[in-house]
Amino acid sequence: MHPTLNIAIKAARRAASVINRASTQLDLLTVQTKSPNDFVTEVDHAAERAIVEVLREAFPGHGILAEEAGELGPLDGQDSEYLWIIDPLDGTTNFIHGFPQYAISIAQTKNGVLEHAVVYDPTRNELFTASRGAGAFLNDRRIRVSRRTRLNDALIGTGFPYRNFDHADAYLAMFRELTQKCAGIRRPGAAALDLAYVACGRFDAFWEMGLSPWDMAAGILLIQEAGGLVSDFAGDSAQMQTGNVVAGTPKIFGQVLPIIQSYRPATLKG
């Protein structure tokens, strides 16, 4: 395993200890609203600080993009080709309600290219990891996307619009057609885990709009290293910039993307 990936795993486990302690005292949480239906707790902040501390100690010259703290430049003040992209608690709304579907997501890019990824589910002790060119793993076992090839056999994950409802009608049209053409649709509520589930074959495809880079960075590399495909709604590789993502096994991806595109609003970038 790459030493950089080991540091990311250490950071994820450090954050998990913060989250697990807090999960037993949910009634004591202070919850703040960042925007409608977008929540943050002191656990998000504490978990993020734990991750940043580990990464700063090991890589003081790297930049960091974190959900709560925003952009943090290298400690030496120099420009860096390396950037860590962090979501300390993806699925905060689930966490607040004691719904056990949330994860820590950590990814590293080098000159904008994804290099390492960790998605850690502390409730199930499931550790998804990937390094560019070295494959994807779940608890040290190699994972691949599913072998399903027919859309009507496929289980698809999605995320409902929850912050910006400008394109809700288009989303519901996508949902309606895909519901009729696949085996089932699930909406667990933590995009990082949803993408990891595509990588290990639990989902055959996934789509969502309006995500942030920290929601998807690690999951994208997991899927790519597990043999899957990822794009934005235009079929391009700008999903980190546009916030709109489609992912899946090569065959299912090829059947889902045209349906997404048929309802994609002209005003939607990517």
44: helix, strand or coil = helix
- The average pLDDT across 153-179 equals 89
Higher pLDDT: 108 or 265? It is 108
Whole-angstrom CA distances from 149 to 1, 14, 225, 233, 251 are 32, 39, 19, 20, 5
For residue 76, pLDDT over 80 is answered with no
Level-2 CATH architecture, domain 3-143: 2-Layer Sandwich (3.30)
User: What pLDDT does 41 receive?
Assistant: 76
User: What pLDDT does 78 receive?
Assistant: 76
- The average pLDDT across 135-141 equals 97
Instruction: For the chain, give the mean pLDDT.
Output: 93
Q: Per the structure block, which two tokens stand in for 8?
A: 């990311």
**Residue 127 assigned ligand-binding role:** no
Question: Minimal CA–CA distance to 260: which of 207, 196, 195?
Answer: 207
Q: Where in the chain are the domains?
A: 3-143, 151-263
Q: Per the structure block, which two tokens stand in for 233?
A: 């709604």
- The average pLDDT across 89-110 equals 95
For residue 236, pLDDT over 60 is answered with yes
The residue type at 90: D
For residue 142, pLDDT over 80 is answered with yes
pLDDT grade for 239, boundaries at 50, 70 and 90? very high
User: What pLDDT does 34 receive?
Assistant: 65
Is beta strand 205-208 parallel, antiparallel or unpaired with respect to 155-158? parallel
- Distance from C-alpha of 41 to C-alpha of 28, rounded to nearest angstrom: 11
Contacts of 59 (CB under 8 A, 6+ apart): 4, 7, 82, 84
Torsion of CA 52, 25, 211, 68, to 10 degrees: -40
pLDDT grade for 35, boundaries at 50, 70 and 90? low
Give this prediction's pTM: 0.94
**Residue 67 assigned ligand-binding role:** yes
The percent of residues in the chain predicted with pLDDT above 90, rounded, is: 79
User: What pLDDT does 166 receive?
Assistant: 78
**Residue 232 assigned ligand-binding role:** no
- Distance from C-alpha of 252 to C-alpha of 150, rounded to nearest angstrom: 7
pLDDT grade for 40, boundaries at 50, 70 and 90? low
Quick check: 59 and 86 in contact, CB under 8 A?
Answer: no
**Residue 90 assigned ligand-binding role:** yes
Quick check: 54 and 10 in contact, CB under 8 A?
Answer: yes
Ranges 33-47, 80-94, 141-155, 209-223: which has the least confidence: 33-47
Domain 151-263 is in which class?
A: alpha beta
**Residue 27 assigned ligand-binding role:** no
Quick check: 126 and 139 in contact, CB under 8 A?
Answer: yes
